[in-house]
Amino acid sequence: MLKPDDQFARELYLVVDADDNASVEGNTKVKFEAKEDVEKLITVFNTGLDHRLMRSNDANEASSRSHLLFTMHFPAHGEKPGGKITFVDLAGSERVAVINLDHMLYEEALFINESLKYLGYVVRWLAGGNEHSGVNFNLNKMTALVRDSLGG
């Protein structure tokens, strides 16, 4: 989603389509038809990178304050099945007790840490040989968005 710079991640809402795929409400969708559209694809991706929220803190001069998800859907063609590729770049966790953070950075750090914590729970659950039916991917926006990539 190419969200406005002033929109905080907690304000993002998920929607689920008829195929049970989660996405961010109001996300940016661009349709590409031909190989010649590769430059257009790269432009959209770079715009997403440019919209990532970056701030400095005591531990890092340019700390990413947001996760980046970039998904490409490939429709089925004749007998060839469709597919999906999602590129995920996660913001790093923050040790809020060690870093001097103002209120907004503190809230962002908690949100980032929470999403990474739930992602860790899901990965550990699945890596332990458990079935995906036993884990609730919808406890966090991040895990809901990448559910199909994790086997859910």
Q: Which pLDDT score, from 0 to 100, does residue 91 have?
A: 77
The answer to whether position 4 is within a domain reads: no
Give mean pLDDT, residues 71-95.
Answer: 82
As a whole-number percent, the residues of the chain with pLDDT over 70 amount to 74
Q: Kindly report the backbone phi and psi dihedral angles of residue 25, in degrees, each rounded to the nearest multiple of 5, phi listed first.
A: -60, 130
Mean of all residue pLDDT scores within the chain: 76
Q: Which pLDDT score, from 0 to 100, does residue 90 have?
A: 80
Strands 22-24 and 54-55: unpaired
DSSP per-residue codes, 130-150: --GGGS-GGGSHHHHHTHHHH
Q: Which pLDDT score, from 0 to 100, does residue 1 have?
A: 45
| Better-predicted residue by pLDDT, 90 or 94 | 90
Q: How confident is the model at residue 54 (pLDDT cuts 50, 70, 90)?
A: low
132: CATH: 3.40.850.10
| Number of independent structural domains in the chain | 1
Q: How confident is the model at residue 115 (pLDDT cuts 50, 70, 90)?
A: confident
The answer to whether position 3 is within a domain reads: no
Output the pTM of the full model. 0.71
| Better-predicted residue by pLDDT, 109 or 6 | 109
The answer to whether position 142 is within a domain reads: yes
The answer to whether position 96 is within a domain reads: yes
Q: How confident is the model at residue 79 (pLDDT cuts 50, 70, 90)?
A: very high
Instruction: Print the domain residue range for 73.
Output: 9-150
* Pick from 22, 69, 24: nearest CA to 48: 69
